[in-house]
Structure 1
Amino acid sequence: MIWKKVLPLTALCFITTAAVHAQDKNKKDAPDSTPASTLKSYQTLFKKAITSKGLITVHQVGMDYYFEIPLVLLEKDFLLVNKVSSVPLAINEAGVNKGMNTNNKVIRFSQNKQAGTVWVKTIVPQVEVPAGDAIAQSVQDNFTGSVIENFKIETYSPDSSALVIKVNKVFDGTEKSFNDVFTDIGLGTSARTALSGIEHIKSFPQNVVVRSLLSTSVTEGETTIAVSVAVTTNLLLLPEKPMQPRFSDKRIGYFSTPRWYFSDTQQKMETRELITRWRMEPRAADRARYLRGELVEPEKPIIYYIDPATPKQWRTYIIAGIHDWQKAFEAAGFKNAIQAREVTDTADFDGDDVRYSVVTYAASPKSNAMGPAVVDPRSGEILESDVIWWHNVMTSLQYWMRIQTGIIDSAARTNQFSVEQMGNAIRFVSSHEIGHTLGLKHNMGASAAYPVDSLRSATYTAKMGGTAPSIMDYARFNYVAQPEDHVTAITPSMGVYDTYAIAWGYRWLGDTINAWQELNSQQQYINDHANNPLYHYGEQQSSLNIIDPRAQSEDLGDNAMKAGEYGLKNLERLVPQIQAWTTSQGENYYQAGKLYMAAIWQWNTYTEHVMANIGGYYLETPVLGDRKKAYTPVAKTLQQQAMAWLQKHLLALPAWLFMPDLLSSTFAVKDSPLGPFECGPYDMKREQQYGLLYSLFSDERLLRMLEMENIYGKSKVFAVADLFKTTRSSIFAATLKNAPLSLDQRLTQQNYVDVLLVSTDKLMEKITKKTLTPPALTQHLPQLCDLTPRALQNHAAAENAYNLRNIYVTAMARTSGVAAAKRGELLNILQLLEKHKVNTDEDTRNHYLDLILRIKQNLKLN
């Protein structure tokens, strides 16, 4: 059912649940039955008050704060926005910093006249219904708000146009209804009211800003840590008329908010996702010019303010990253649509005020950045956005540049980069994060549009710009280019997909068109670009379970095997240079150990890129008529090519990566809360190879391979049996020749057998029931960046992958062919070991006997 057919355009009038409830406001107000004796005198109460006038007049009397709420604002939609304003060291280290948005909710103030109180209800404005439909009454009954707070009416304004309530309890930590920061940031504690309080409240024409200091304590073991957090709460009046929404399309990457449509003529409820975007409209006087195709300025440009705490040398580069989006908005018909400003008057500037979108600079050891937004859930309108810029993000940039481009760029080899070198990298991160604040999701599939060999071309990279057609990919620096190529455009930059995505999301289509009528126009715009790989959108996937090998983090080009080969050539050149690049006379080898760890993880990353081709599918979101397939297995020849690469670089560990000369000075160093860990090479080999092999033989991968074998037949795909046979013949090649095994060869065989043993045990574990959380009660956190190189990540942290694209293949996996394949492989290995366990040296013989014993115990063979 197409919604635009419910009513003719002239009669179509959508009303939200807010409007359904508001219909009662047309009725004559009942008299206030609050006993006059319970009300205080307005003049007496505020005789010595400090008053701030604005949307809501705020009175401060000593330590008490009062809201004077105009009656016309009752039943209006407010957005309650809570932000962190300052943090102590204890949670700074955990990545909680100034500027982070902890919790938003839509609320309404309602007067309970008989009780003499004001109720605050929170609603989920997710439903629309045509005015006058019979089902509107049911919508009202089934989507009501929930009361979260109650205030006593203290008095009325002298002209009776406003009521007065005391608001201390919702901001000073007494109640959690408006602000539950310690739960939101994961501490799960309550504020200690004796150590908490309101610092100030300011009122402005469209919002009220409240800053509070809330204190708690957290006990871990025998240690109790005091934690005080400053929180700024914004109470923002939402627009009376919501912005016209635009429906999302899964073929282009925008964040979205859900919307449900009901009507009498439906045979099922209509569901849509509204993209999140700024309200970008031409001025009334310019609208005819805009529709003729002329560039015009928007009625309200997007303005980002640079945090005054930002070091001066980086400001111009952050601003340049913001201005990079100017050309994209010009494709949508707007000039000067996005602007950046430095704060010149700090006395009147509050970065936590939702009137300002701010690039907030956070002094923190965390190496990251993110760009969340405050969104009107009724329409998807972005009301305010912030970029949280952690100071230590430069650590990540430096490791990427040194590891990925140090061989082709001499400026990227030192411990301390020039301002220009670091500034250009900061610019790309700024552009990427601003893209998120404009509503764009990661496009992890963009980099696959560039042929690998083209990334070695100085003319191609200069023409196309950077490493991918989208800044929203995690296409880092150009590790493909070789020294003889003389490529200089090696940093990610804005691309054609970014311009295309902004044009699709922000083009203004006129006053007389509604969202349903926009649908066909917007779909046609995507159809016109659908067969050009430069405009391909690849949904982000869980890094623990990559399905589409084109849409990976930190990969480059259209062929991971070829790109990885070039990357390893540069990495092999780099490893002997680590000491020279990091250590000066009289210095220790800490920096060398850190860079060495980054080099090992870069090898790991290239291997993962290749491995994703095994059992991989190319994922599309087809529509009728585009002749695309939703699931296409990676070609058998490409999977065989990937397997050959893995045999060369994973099943046989690269000797050059573990150089005795370097190891005599430093092991690979990994930082931890307990200090640096110096990881021995044998341990690193076991850990890295084991993790990769475990992923290669994961149940999900094998089940996907069985799915394709089921559809296309075993002869036309790279089958599970092919994977096991190729791996076994490679890992046990020396065994088949009765040759003694080196330590590395024994290590690889142990890893392979143990992966099969452990994964088989897990596969056969009893399936336990899990409690399902109703979708309406699930908090969907924003999709945020992780700019931390893998060498610096905490891999113990769980990944929130519920909103990433996945293919469900794991139901009752123990009854699938996976268990049979893994156990069959163990029996094949057992037979091989039994045959060759005698004719070899003592170390190899002991190794075989150990593997035989492990397999027999696991399979319960006597």
Structure 2
Amino acid sequence: MTVCILGGMQEQAYAINSNQQKSEAGIFKFLKKKDKKVENEDVKDTEKKKTKLKNYDEVITTEAISKHGVIDIHRVKKDYYFELDKNLLERDFLLVNKISKVPTEINELGFNKGINYQNLLIKFELDTILEKVWVKTYKATYSSKEGDAITKSFEDNYISSIRESFDLSCLGKDSTSYVFKVNKVFDGSEKSLNDLFGILGMPGSAVTNLSKINEVKSFPKNALVKSLLTTKAEGITVSVEVTTNIVLLDEKPMKPRFADKRVGFFSTKQFYFNDDQQALENRELVTRWRLEPKEEDVKRYLAGELVEPQKQIVYYVDPATPAQWRQAIKDGINDWQVAFEQAGFKNAIIAKDAPVNDPDFDGDDVRYSMVTYAASSQANAMGPSVVDPRSGEIIEADIIWWHNVMTALQSWIRIQTGVIDSRARANKFEDEHMAHAIRFVSSHEVGHTLGLMHNMGASYAYPVDSLRSKTYTDKMGGTAPSIMDYARFNYVAQPGDGVENITPQIGIYDIFAIGWAYKWNNKTNPWDELNDQTAMIRKHETDPLYHYGPQQDGKNTIDPSAQSEDLGDNSMHASRYGLKNLRRIVPQVESWTYEEGQDYEKAGKMMMGIIGQWFTYANHVVTNVGGVYLDQPVYGERKAAYNHVEKAKQKDAIKFLLDEVIDIPEWLTKADIYNKTYPIKESPIGDIEYAPTTLFRDLHARIFYSLLQKERLLRMLENEAKNGDEAYTVANMMNDLHKGIFKKTIKGLKLNVFDRQSQKNFIDALIITQNKAMEKTTKKTLHASCSCSLHKHMPVLCDYSVRNDKMFGEKVDSDDSKNFQRNVFYSTMNRVSDAVSMKRGELMKIRDLLKKRLVIKDEATRYHYNDLIMRIEEALNLK
């Protein structure tokens, strides 16, 4: 096997060791160079008598149709042969499987043309005894220092695995290449190199008599095979066209750059062994393109002059893209040039229209980075890339642009900015207005393909009231210092503020991050760069505009300063402004969606979008309760890793929830539009109309279960243990909730339907969560892993869902994958935590209050109280 050896200490030179001895014994002794041509031919004739191999002309006949390139591919009738030069044995190839065409069933699941679903690092190895070519796979995650004693152990403990084998058919014409038949791995017979249906989570394998090889191509650095694979499952037949690229990687990988948690880049794990260690060195390699100055420009570059890179980053826009959006998508790509100038390069990133009549151009070819336009009902966009796992080098990028993403954009823009921008009120926007939003999405997705992860903490750098300032927003640009935040559109600005710059833009953080990752130097290894890279971060360590806040688990968001879809540095303040605008919009729903002779479907969907925005604000506020500001301090900095949210902010969060969510405002519950249509949610089975009482009962329950979740209460207890009376405690929260939820009960007043369902939801959440905490515990892993096959195998980088909530018929946000989220563990020993005591104490307090109010004359309220008393006593086993 070839050992991948990267230097493990700062003084080492970065290198790859490929000096394994290759066997030349057995029937191929004649391949050794001889001085005499006649002697070579005599040996060749002698050896051929000892093998079953056919002559080249017997295999690759005159009927062969051949494609010449890095691997020559020959088609002889229905058989396909690879001809591999001997110099490519043991070389690293990256096998990249992509979807090319899909049927309706796959399209509806969000799997479309351009999606890269499987990558494998492979090597071809010759077995002279068995006359086979092995395909081996290995992980480039581990390496060892060349010449160290431990490297022998490394070679024994990290061998390559055989993934596939091919019987050798013949030698090449000049006996310096090997020919083998490859049908089985491309026609569906074997899934060793293409497990399409397994990765899609579909039962069964490809049906071989319904699958075939469609086309082959070969180029100097890569070969590709297009296949049509069909499977049958539960009476449904599904055929998918896929493209397998086999890419020859450079013998010398790009010099990697070590990741830093304070700058948000995707990364590739790497572990280094060497004799001088007392512990295995664990690093992350930044995912980035190889940008280097031309040799003649190195001196000018190092002197600070802008130069063009040896190889530009080029994105091609799919010809299938509607003409009116192409320029906006290209502008979103070209906008990143300003960031690359920070790294010292001009004209580093270029957008082009894909050629239409070039027979060699294929969007599925990994030589080309594509913005692929997918005809689909998915309201989404994403930006994955193909990465060399040895170094983190991005080889190619695929931005998938689903056609229906414009419905998400139109909904956000209308609901978030309609009151301050008359252009945003129509059912269909002017092309220029929509193109402006498309440009923003294009830039965001390109950012992912440049290696950038979401920076959900960026928007926290802007003070809420500054978002109402025309001067400030014009100067700073957009809604956050990073376009990689989900800062969407400016919902804080009020009518009359005059704010016009309301769309996210490439900002200060983005420019800094690109400069940090792409600035070239002539250092020999990544260890030598560390001081310079750290100094760049240190320069801005106290400036919030340069802060990176990683994406969090949407179900258990800890840090309120790094949330999806929020704006500004105070969730309550921003949300109150947002609610003022929503209150202005609700009476306009009918007029804004009006179409003569049409039904009220658009109005119902818009109303659901408004309720979704209201609920999004509520969730932003909830995160402040028991919230912890998370940071990534290093030695020498004065930052704290964990700062609990201020007591006053947490108390204000509960007040907001009581005033604006738990006590649902009548402008939302009694909207006039409900006389014409209920809120409508889209679903796979069709539109669903939600009665307001049913909808708000469900949303109430979600808020209560979120507030009472064990992790939140345990964080509050941690805060109390650390800060005492300065903390907002669980007792404080329970008292505030009690006074708010039962304020009418305390005063002896009659309850309406929403009052009663609010109290029932709260008590139900108390009972269920405390009972769950008392259940017998079972051994669990520290962090649950996602079982979704999509998450396991696909580099899904961006999901432009309208809401992070299934109630509103949208995908749950899966960006950056759980591998990149911060894991702060609080939940353990729930049975003996104070959280259970507080919940039981609150239930007893409620029971005592309700018993005193059973004399109320209103029958519905009295029955409600009796019911709650019985529920509490049954839950607590009281008699």
- Structure 2 length normalisation: TM-score? 0.94
Change (3 A) 1:594 1:779: closer
2:782 matches 1:782: no
Change (3 A) 1:545 1:70: same
Q: Which one of 51, 58, 62 corresponds to residue 44 of structure 1?
A: 58
The answer as to whether partners of 2:27 and 2:51 remain within 8 angstroms in 1 is no
Q: Identify the residue that residue 712 of structure 1 maps to in structure 2.
A: 723
Q: Deviations over 1:672-703 (max 9, x none)?
A: 12211110010111011111121111111101
Change (3 A) 1:660 1:381: closer
2:744 matches 1:729: no
The answer as to whether partners of 1:34 and 1:116 remain within 8 angstroms in 2 is no
SS in 2 for 1:374: strand
Change (3 A) 1:358 1:811: same
SS in 2 for 1:695: helix
Q: Identify the residue that residue 755 of structure 2 maps to in structure 1.
A: 745
State the shift of 1:37 in Å.
4.6
2:92 matches 1:80: no
Q: Which one of 832, 840, 863 corresponds to residue 815 of structure 1?
A: 832
State the shift of 1:5 in Å.
10
SS in 2 for 1:348: coil
CA–CA distance in structure 2, aligned partners of residues 72 and 115 of structure 1:
20
**Aligned-partner residue type, residue 201 of structure 1:** V
CA–CA distance in structure 1, aligned partners of residues 342 and 416 of structure 2:
33
The answer as to whether partners of 2:681 and 2:688 remain within 8 angstroms in 1 is yes
2:198 matches 1:201: no
Choose 465-474 or 646-655, whichever is displaced more. Answer: 646-655
Aligned pairs for 1:75-474 (under 5 A) are 75-219=90-234, 224-346=235-357, 347-474=359-486
Change (3 A) 1:796 1:380: closer
Change (3 A) 1:6 1:211: closer
State the shift of 1:814 in Å.
2.0
Q: Identify the residue that residue 637 of structure 2 maps to in structure 1.
A: 626
Change (3 A) 1:80 1:636: same
Change (3 A) 1:507 1:14: closer
Q: Deviations over 1:224-279 (max 9, x none)?
A: 21100000000001111000000000000000000011101111110000010000
SS in 1 for 2:238: strand
Change (3 A) 1:213 1:35: farther
CA–CA distance in structure 2, aligned partners of residues 702 and 645 of structure 1:
19
State the shift of 1:660 in Å.
4.4
Change (3 A) 1:129 1:642: same
CA–CA distance in structure 2, aligned partners of residues 188 and 68 of structure 1:
34
Q: Identify the residue that residue 20 of structure 2 maps to in structure 1.
A: 23
The answer as to whether partners of 2:560 and 2:623 remain within 8 angstroms in 1 is yes
Q: Identify the residue that residue 64 of structure 1 maps to in structure 2.
A: 79
Q: Deviations over 1:696-742 (max 9, x none)?
A: 111111011111111222x0100000010100011111111111111
The answer as to whether partners of 2:328 and 2:438 remain within 8 angstroms in 1 is yes
State the shift of 1:795 in Å.
6.7
SS in 1 for 2:706: helix
Choose 766-775 or 96-105, whichever is displaced more. Answer: 766-775
State the shift of 1:651 in Å.
2.1
CA–CA distance in structure 2, aligned partners of residues 35 and 504 of structure 1:
62
Q: Identify the residue that residue 39 of structure 2 maps to in structure 1.
A: none
Aligned pairs for 1:489-504 (under 5 A) are 489-504=501-516
CA–CA distance in structure 2, aligned partners of residues 624 and 109 of structure 1:
46
The answer as to whether partners of 1:4 and 1:516 remain within 8 angstroms in 2 is no
CA–CA distance in structure 1, aligned partners of residues 684 and 356 of structure 2:
39
2:859 matches 1:846: no
CA–CA distance in structure 2, aligned partners of residues 751 and 449 of structure 1:
36
Change (3 A) 1:36 1:360: farther
The answer as to whether partners of 2:385 and 2:397 remain within 8 angstroms in 1 is yes
Q: Deviations over 1:347-397 (max 9, x none)?
A: 332100000000000000000000001000000000001100000000000
State the shift of 1:344 in Å.
2.7
Q: Deviations over 1:24-59 (max 9, x none)?
A: 13x755543886451112112222100110001110
Q: Which one of 838, 842, 851 corresponds to residue 834 of structure 1?
A: 851
Cα RMSD for the two superposed structures: 2.0
2:650 matches 1:639: yes
CA–CA distance in structure 1, aligned partners of residues 580 and 822 of structure 2:
33
State the shift of 1:535 in Å.
0.3
State the shift of 1:812 in Å.
2.1
2:565 matches 1:550: no
Change (3 A) 1:159 1:602: same
**Aligned-partner residue type, residue 151 of structure 1:** F
SS in 2 for 1:642: helix
The answer as to whether partners of 1:120 and 1:149 remain within 8 angstroms in 2 is yes
Identity %: 52
CA–CA distance in structure 2, aligned partners of residues 772 and 828 of structure 1:
35
CA–CA distance in structure 1, aligned partners of residues 227 and 709 of structure 2:
49
SS in 2 for 1:83: strand
State the shift of 1:538 in Å.
0.2
**Aligned-partner residue type, residue 23 of structure 1:** Q
Aligned pairs for 1:503-542 (under 5 A) are 503-510=515-522, 512-542=523-553
**Runs of 5+ in structure 2 lacking a partner?**
29-46
The answer as to whether partners of 1:633 and 1:708 remain within 8 angstroms in 2 is yes
CA–CA distance in structure 2, aligned partners of residues 772 and 805 of structure 1:
13
SS in 2 for 1:24: coil
The answer as to whether partners of 1:15 and 1:128 remain within 8 angstroms in 2 is no
Change (3 A) 1:381 1:35: farther
The answer as to whether partners of 1:319 and 1:340 remain within 8 angstroms in 2 is yes
Q: Deviations over 1:86-143 (max 9, x none)?
A: 1000111111101001100101111111001111111001122221101111110111
Aligned residues: 848
- Structure 1 length normalisation: TM-score? 0.96
Q: Identify the residue that residue 658 of structure 1 maps to in structure 2.
A: 669
Choose 625-634 or 823-832, whichever is displaced more. Answer: 823-832
CA–CA distance in structure 2, aligned partners of residues 780 and 674 of structure 1:
28
SS in 2 for 1:97: coil
Q: Deviations over 1:41-88 (max 9, x none)?
A: 211222210011000111000111000011111111100000000100
State the shift of 1:839 in Å.
2.6
SS in 1 for 2:820: coil
CA–CA distance in structure 1, aligned partners of residues 781 and 75 of structure 2:
48
CA–CA distance in structure 1, aligned partners of residues 796 and 66 of structure 2:
40
Q: Identify the residue that residue 694 of structure 2 maps to in structure 1.
A: 683
**Aligned-partner residue type, residue 771 of structure 2:** D
**Aligned-partner residue type, residue 433 of structure 1:** E
The answer as to whether partners of 2:6 and 2:143 remain within 8 angstroms in 1 is no
Change (3 A) 1:38 1:30: closer
SS in 2 for 1:662: helix
CA–CA distance in structure 2, aligned partners of residues 15 and 188 of structure 1:
43
Q: Deviations over 1:497-539 (max 9, x none)?
A: 00000000000011x4320010111011001011100000001
**Aligned-partner residue type, residue 846 of structure 1:** Y
**Aligned-partner residue type, residue 657 of structure 2:** L
The answer as to whether partners of 2:586 and 2:671 remain within 8 angstroms in 1 is no
